[in-house]
Amino acid sequence: MTYVSSFYHAFSGAQKAETAANRICKVLAVNQENEQLMEDYEKLASDLLEWIRRTIPWLENRAPENTMQAMQQKLEDFRDYRRLHKPPKVQEKCQLEINFNTLQTKLRLSNRPAFMPSEGKMVSDINNAWGGLEQAEKGYEEWLLNEIRRLERLDHLAEKFRQKASIHESWTDGKEVMLQQKDYETATLSEIKALLKKHEAFESDLAAHQDRVEQIAAIAQELNELDYYDSPSVNARCQKICDQWDNLGALTQKRREALERTEKLLETIDQLYLEYAKRAAPFNNWMEGAMEDLQDTFIVHTIEEIQGLTTAHEQFKATLPDADKERQAILGIHNEVSKIVQTYHVNMAGTNPYTTITPQDINGKWDHVRQLVPRRDQALMEEHTRQQQNERLRKQFGAQANVIGPWIQTKMEEIGRISIEMHGTLEDQLNHLRQYEKSIINYKPKIDQLEGDHQQIQEALIFDNKHTNYTMEHIRVGWEQLLTTIARTINEVENQILTRDAKGISQEQMNEFRASFNHFDRKKTGMMDSEDFRACLISMGYNMGEAEFARIMSIVDPNRLGVVTFQAFIDFMSRETADTDTADQVMASFKILAGDKNYITVDELRRELPPDQAEYCIARMAPYSGPDAVPGALDYMSFSTALYGESDL
């Protein structure tokens, strides 16, 4: 009997040591896995925040470009960023939230304290940084489109300035020399009269050109206000034109005074030439204005605008018959002069002393006007076709956006309903959510198609769309929120299943928990605020003060967000009934391995535990400093409490 008793005690001691070792292995494995998840979260959060930090300065760069091509390249680079660089970071952000929630769930299930990331790396910090990124994106896109509009307007104004300036400079070419001539000093009486009348016709022509000079100055002023890159050369040219115009006015006045001084020496001159000159000059100016208008470039963005131009052009064409009558009348005056010259053999050399405008000039410009009219018709028709195509793009985008936008909103609402419903098991809800996720992913081609239509709209420089209130930015944000919501909801249900299985909660209990949670979730947001949670605790019989309620809130809301999720509610409801390891149980297991000593040696750890976990304990256990310490003794008690957050490792 003595031998049997000795064997019994020997085998019983070995079994206790094996049980103790197994318990320690289990605890250490969980702790190692949790530490790895923490390191992964820290790295992923750091990488994402670094990417946001590098990207925001690029988006906030508002250095303007001088050419439309450069701004178009910036717009293309921005589209590449939206299409190629940002989507992977959206996925990383979603994965980061999933990893964070999974880690917190595992820590709760293993009775560990909640994980607090490094300063600046909380999920809320990342969301704030992400919000700043999206705000910078919005501002950058608006700035790009405004700059493109500005450069487009500048190019149009610069071309208009050059065209008007060239016409004016062509008209003024030689005028100063002509005004400075002293031909009246040796002219005959009839020649002096002719010079005086010619000067009157020139003054009429000069006055008619005053409007063009004012237009040139106004365009130059507008180019300066819009910060045109070549403003110095524009200002120099405009100043030269204005100075020349002032000089022309002074020279004109000076010549008139000289001619008037000799007017008493003049006799009657042919009134028909004078009438021809007076009528030809305005008509010539009208034709030059008509040619200028017919060759003028235009920028429109809607069908209504091009229709307005077309209507104005039709009104102009309606005036052509009357203009042709005026032309015939002017040519009739010249023919009458020629007839008189031939009849009376007047030595006029076939020229009009009052104007340089010849019938050939009038006929040539008239023919040019008639040639420009069909060209203008063609240009307006082509622009009308382009605007029709733009309108088709607007309607096409609007039709799709008006379907996709409500679809995304509906899916968000349906996912919200699924997450709080109590029909079926959690596995049924998970399967239902995954089916929704699959249907959402299958919807991606329609989003891509809408992106393609949006790109066509931007390439066509279409800036507004009256057929929809949705912009591509609204659709993108909604789509990203939908993907994030379905992924987060699936993760929440998976964590609920993990909690249920680990805690041994039945489906009926889960349904009761859900019913109670839904009842006190008065705002129906899927989360209880602190007042709702207090009311729920009171309804379950908790009698507590502010300190006790604050302690419970620190358990269910470790991140101090002011809300209680359903997962945290389940953990709280099942915490006291769950079979979980404690620091006392781990210390008791170490004490068995140490042979009832208050310390444990390196050799004992390496003998009783697997190599990697033995080395893990050796690296983290503090030296034992009790009165019964021996060289190399390790303090397993402080190590055990540190595993559960009750002291520092």
pLDDT at 644: 64
d(CA 64, CA 427) in angstroms, rounded, equals 56
d(CA 310, CA 303) in angstroms, rounded, equals 10
Helix (H, G, I), strand (E, B) or coil at 487: helix
d(CA 451, CA 473) in angstroms, rounded, equals 10
**What are the tens digits of pLDDT across the range 387-416?**
778 778 777 878 888 888 888 888 887 776
> Does position 151 have pLDDT exceeding 70, yes or no?
no
Across 218-246, average pLDDT? 79
d(CA 428, CA 497) in angstroms, rounded, equals 11
- Per-residue pLDDT band for 72 (boundaries 50, 70, 90) equals low
Q: pTM value? A: 0.38
Whose CA is closest to 91, among 415, 446, 443, 441? 441
d(CA 48, CA 86) in angstroms, rounded, equals 11
> Does position 229 have pLDDT exceeding 60, yes or no?
yes
DSSP 552-580: HHHHH-TT--SEEEHHHHHHHHHTTTS--
Question: In Å, what is the CA distance from 347 to each residue of 183, 531, 549?
Answer: 19, 112, 120
Dihedral sign (CA 168, 169, 170, 176): positive
**What are the tens digits of pLDDT across the range 547-567?**
777 887 787 777 777 877 767
Across 360-376, average pLDDT? 86
> To the nearest whole percent, how much of the chain has pLDDT over 90?
0
- In terms of phi and psi (left: phi > 0; alpha: psi -120 to 50; beta: otherwise), the region of 292 is alpha
Question: In Å, what is the CA distance from 535 to each residue of 522, 528, 540?
Answer: 11, 10, 9
d(CA 283, CA 620) in angstroms, rounded, equals 102
Between 210 and 500, residue with greater pLDDT:
210
Question: In Å, what is the CA distance from 517 to each residue of 223, 413, 421, 537, 550?
Answer: 65, 19, 11, 11, 19
Helix (H, G, I), strand (E, B) or coil at 254: helix
Helix (H, G, I), strand (E, B) or coil at 528: strand
Across 297-326, average pLDDT? 79
